[in-house]
């Protein structure tokens, strides 16, 4: 089971990844 903080961190990481992909495209 994941902790709330870990879930937030993962969601933030995914968001940054998506932003980077948009910029590269």
pLDDT recorded at residue 2: 65
At 2, give phi and psi (nearest 5°): -90, 150
pTM of the model: 0.52
- Could you give the dihedral angle defined by the CA atoms of residues 4, 6, 9 and 14, in that order, rounded to the nearest 10 degrees? -100
1-25 per-position pLDDT tens digit: 668 888 899 999 999 999 888 877 6
pLDDT recorded at residue 12: 93
């Amino acid at each position: 089971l994941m902790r709330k903080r870990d879930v937030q961190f993962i969601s933030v990481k995914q968001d940054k990844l998506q932003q980077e992909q948009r910029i590269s495209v």
